Amino acid sequence: MTVATSLIPGLEDIVKRGDPRRRGDIARAISQLFFQDAEKLRPELIDLFDNLLVDLVPHAELASRADLAERFSHLNNAPPHLVNQLARENEIAVAGPVLRRSPVLDDAALVEIARLKGQGHLLAMTERPALSPVITDVLVERGDRDVVRRAAANAGAAFSPGSYSELIKRAAQDGVLTLKIGQRNDLSGEHLKQLLDGTLDVIRRRLSTVVNPARQAEIKRAMAAIDEAALPPGPRRDYSAAQHTVLTLHRGGHLGESALLGFAKAQKYEESIAALSALSGVRLPVLDRLIAGDRYDPLLILGRVLNLGWPTVRALILLWYGPNRMPADADIEAARLNFTRLMPATAERVVNFWRNRQTI
């Protein structure tokens, strides 16, 4: 028999043999005394209430325990042993409120619970106003998809470098998580690059629409760096002379489809790409990388957006093949059919995305 139960005649018998409803009633009555003057209670009185309630509350009905957990979760001086007891209950209706907000639970208790309990307990923790790295380390390590998403969305959560890297790794398979991470204020430039590098283009576009202007600029810079890193090794093309030529034509009002067709027929690669860049508004390094790939599809898309005729598009495709390769007639015919079937609205969306991937 504890000192606390010995102070109230008959209480120990009620604790051991009383029916749950009776024990719940007594637990609520004692708790109500605590709530009436909670802010003024001295530490020794809090200890007394703690000793009484840790004996009574576990035997109370579920509804009573859940109600008490909710009320105690808001108090800075709630009975500490009781709060820790409630937080370790398997019933999430009881553990949830104190795990979500009780200031009485310290990091050591939260880490222990996070390592031992199930996903419901971890999910409740993600709603705390602040989460230290020692807690988020466990949440990221053990948490399922919903837990990790909630933790990433919590502005008061702090993550260690290792946990941040793990979050980004998981985001490669989770577009929602990518959006949550991308909106975090503590996301570093390097982590942003890692996040974008493993993300689908459609998620990148979505992310650009939900972040603030400063983060939008960071995304554009990061995408430019990713594009630059993805360029094939070896010497890069020098476009300085070609850009001068195209600029002269533009100033004279002569930059158009006929000039582009002339460049392509003459196998002037740099002038052709520089002209396409000027006409389409796609930055030259981005366009060069796209057209240097293993498919000529970007030329079909640009041709549709610029309303080029098939002879010009055909000349650009032959330029893409190079002077030492000649495509089969069937391949050229297939390209013509694909170009004819390409919807202008579809092509415009793709080119707009290419434009948005540029640096400011």
Q: Are 324 and 306 in contact (CB under 8 A)?
A: no
Q: What is the pLDDT of residue 101?
A: 97
pLDDT digits (tens, 9 = 90+) for 152-183: 999 999 999 999 999 999 998 898 999 999 99
* Percent above pLDDT 90 for the chain: 57
Contacts of 47 (CB under 8 A, 6+ apart): 79
Grade residue 6 by pLDDT with cuts at 50, 70 and 90: very low
Grade residue 113 by pLDDT with cuts at 50, 70 and 90: very high
Question: What is the distance between the alpha carbons of residues 336 and 310, in angstroms, rounded to a whole number?
Answer: 7
298 pLDDT above the threshold of 60:
yes
pLDDT digits (tens, 9 = 90+) for 219-241: 877 776 766 665 555 446 888 99
Contacts of 11 (CB under 8 A, 6+ apart): 5, 26, 52
The mean pLDDT of 249-273, rounded to a whole number, is 94
- Report the range out of 10-14, 35-39, 127-131, 192-196 with the highest average pLDDT: 127-131
205 pLDDT above the threshold of 50:
yes
Q: What is the pLDDT of residue 355?
A: 82
Burial of 136 (0-12, 13-18, 19+ CB in 10 A): buried
Q: Running DSSP on this structure, what letter comes out for residue 283? A: -
Grade residue 191 by pLDDT with cuts at 50, 70 and 90: confident
Q: Are 286 and 230 in contact (CB under 8 A)?
A: no
129 pLDDT above the threshold of 90:
yes
Q: What's the one-letter identity of residue 181?
A: I
Lowest mean pLDDT among 64-78, 110-124, 205-219, 237-251: 205-219
359 pLDDT above the threshold of 50:
no
7 pLDDT above the threshold of 50:
no
Q: What are the φ/ψ torsions at residue 131 (nearest 5 degrees)?
A: -135, 125
The mean pLDDT of 190-196, rounded to a whole number, is 86
Which residue has 């990790």 as its token pair? Answer: 148
Is the pTM higher than 0.85? no
Give the residues across from 131 on adjacent strands: 157
Question: What is the overall mean pLDDT for the chain?
Answer: 87
